[in-house]
Structure 1
Amino acid sequence: MNKDVRLLEDESIDDLQLKNLFLIQKKSGFRFGVDAVLLSNFANIKNKHRVIDLCSGTGIVPFLLYGKYNPKEVIGIEIQDDMVEMAKRSSKYNELEKIVKFERGDLKDISFLNKLGKFDALTVNPPYKLNNSGIINPDDKLAIARHEILCTLEDVIKASRKLLKDNGRMYIVHRPERLIDIFELMRKYKIEPKRVQMIQPNIKKAPNIVLIEGQRDGGAYLKWESPLYIYNEDGSYTKELNKIYGREV
């Protein structure tokens, strides 16, 4: 690792406990959560793949994908300049600048998308909440990460269609209440839903996260995976979640 990489006063560098990888994050503010970990585990990535991650934030998903699957190249796309700069420093710290790369760009910019080329696989952890309150500060970093301020679900899926190779795969994490919107938009842009997994806090609570795999120009066939539970009834993490985090073999 490159120990010359600087940290700002409000930043920490966190051990991902995966292949000796580290991530620079803010000490307070937006930090990655279980969604990113679940998404990287759900994705089916091969070492020959060229992969792109949209709405990349500080770059957590690209680093997890690299650590788990060792793809040929992973590019993270993010619209917020400070997030991109932070992600690039993480890549430099991990000495992965030639493999795990980050670009500042707007998913609505077709000329920008054209320059990126085509990808075997695409991951995205987009903003979940509809921006319909009218009171959100557009400069609020947390709001941008959580609300559809700078891009909508349709912008994400339209861009995914543009970026994927023929039969390329898209992997998205979202909220179950948006499932119909996701399916409708995927079919609108000819990305066929192929696999779905619901994530539940525990066996007694309703799902609060959904993982979806789609295939560009794929045939109609949808597989439902068994649900994944985060917590046991006593509040401890389930064996399945501990395996995803690498705490159990």
Structure 2
Amino acid sequence: MDIELKEGERLDDLQCGGLKIIQNPRLFSFGIDAVLLANFARIKPGDIVADLGTGSGVIPLLLSCKTAASKIYGLEIQHEMADMAQRSVRLNDLESRVDIIEGDIRKAGDIIGMSLVDAVISNPPYRKAGSGHVSPSDARAIATYELECTLDDVIKAASTLLKNKGRFYMIQRPARLVDAICGMRKAGIEPKRLRMVQPFADKKPTMFLIESIKGAQPHMDIMPPLVIYDAKGIYTEEIYRIYGMEVPDSGG
């Protein structure tokens, strides 16, 4: 299907099943965090999935390629971002599996359905409002700072959407780890699996991936760290595999 691009938009190859995504760098373009989160989530065949704060729709698109989820919802409050995501879905003929909805995360239960979803995914704003320089672009500011919703709002929405024993997956900055764990436990979603993400093996983590389960008993596994680079500009083998890229030959 042909989709007309608007001013400032570009069409990028997701390198997954021939999927394409519409992006506008003026607003917000996805990064490695979205790719890592989509790979970290354990989605079962037939699952109903919701991505909270879907942005350009990259996570629903990747999950449509990588998993056998029966339905994937993407909820996004910003009109321009939701419109781009909806057009990307149509471009890839995924309307039967992926539904992008323009709406407020805080009303997710009313919009999608309470206790309906098997897995919730979110790459929420990393910074609290007022905690640093705010981008002059509204879209970038909303994606980066807690202007339209807080971390607790995202966690509460996930709990509302999830079935009992449903799974919640999130990526965040290490500075928010305690906030995330406390918020999840308060919302009845028990943290079960944690993986730190490091730029290099000898550097401290810059992100963490976490899986929690609604109604589960306390017990959390700490996974080995995920290291992004072996050297400057050279991914580790695991990152090449996550991206579906061939690992370069290191032989002489």
Q: Determine if the alignment matches structure 1 residue 175 to structure 2 residue 173.
A: yes
Distance in structure 1 (CA, Å) of the matches to 2:11 and 2:176: 33
Contact 1:191 1:214 in 2 (8 A): yes
Q: Which residue of 1 aligns with 2:90?
A: 92
C-alpha spacing 1:239/1:217, structure 2 compared with 1 (3 Å): same
Cα deviation, 1:145-185, whole Å, max 9, x if unaligned, reads 00000000000001111000010000000011110000000
Distance in structure 2 (CA, Å) of the matches to 1:14 and 1:165: 35
Contact 1:138 1:149 in 2 (8 A): no
Q: Which residue of 1 aligns with 2:240?
A: 242
Distance in structure 1 (CA, Å) of the matches to 2:96 and 2:136: 33
Distance in structure 1 (CA, Å) of the matches to 2:11 and 2:94: 16
User: Could you tell me which of 100, 110, 115 is aligned with 1:114?
Assistant: 110
Q: Which residue of 1 aligns with 2:74?
A: 76
Residue 137 of structure 1 deviates from its aligned partner by 7.3
Distance in structure 1 (CA, Å) of the matches to 2:197 and 2:100: 29
Q: Determine if the alignment matches structure 1 residue 21 to structure 2 residue 19.
A: yes
Cα deviation, 1:14-62, whole Å, max 9, x if unaligned, reads 1101011110001444100000000000000012100000010010000
What's the RMSD between the two structures over aligned residues?
1.6
Distance in structure 1 (CA, Å) of the matches to 2:208 and 2:125: 14
Q: Which residue of 1 aligns with 2:43?
A: 45
Amino acid corresponding to residue 114 of structure 1 in structure 2? D
User: Could you tell me which of 63, 66, 72 is aligned with 1:65?
Assistant: 63
User: Could you tell me which of 142, 148, 151 is aligned with 2:149?
Assistant: 151
Residue 97 of structure 1 deviates from its aligned partner by 0.9
Amino acid corresponding to residue 165 of structure 1 in structure 2? K
Amino acid corresponding to residue 22 of structure 1 in structure 2? K
Contact 2:27 2:137 in 1 (8 A): no
**TM-score, structure 1 normalization:** 0.94
User: Aligned to 2:231, what secondary structure does the other structure show?
Assistant: coil
Amino acid corresponding to residue 119 of structure 2 in structure 1? A
C-alpha spacing 1:37/1:133, structure 2 compared with 1 (3 Å): closer
Distance in structure 2 (CA, Å) of the matches to 1:167 and 1:194: 12
Q: Which residue of 2 aligns with 1:230?
A: 228
Residue 116 of structure 1 deviates from its aligned partner by 1.2
User: Aligned to 2:120, what secondary structure does the other structure show?
Assistant: strand
C-alpha spacing 1:157/1:235, structure 2 compared with 1 (3 Å): same
**TM-score, structure 2 normalization:** 0.93
Distance in structure 1 (CA, Å) of the matches to 2:61 and 2:106: 25
Distance in structure 1 (CA, Å) of the matches to 2:131 and 2:189: 30
Residue 114 of structure 1 deviates from its aligned partner by 2.5
Amino acid corresponding to residue 19 of structure 1 in structure 2? G
Contact 2:196 2:225 in 1 (8 A): yes
The alignment covers a number of residue pairs equal to 245
Contact 2:54 2:122 in 1 (8 A): yes
Contact 2:173 2:207 in 1 (8 A): yes
Contact 1:138 1:144 in 2 (8 A): no
Distance in structure 2 (CA, Å) of the matches to 1:199 and 1:22: 27
Q: Which residue of 2 aligns with 1:213?
A: 211
Amino acid corresponding to residue 25 of structure 1 in structure 2? Q
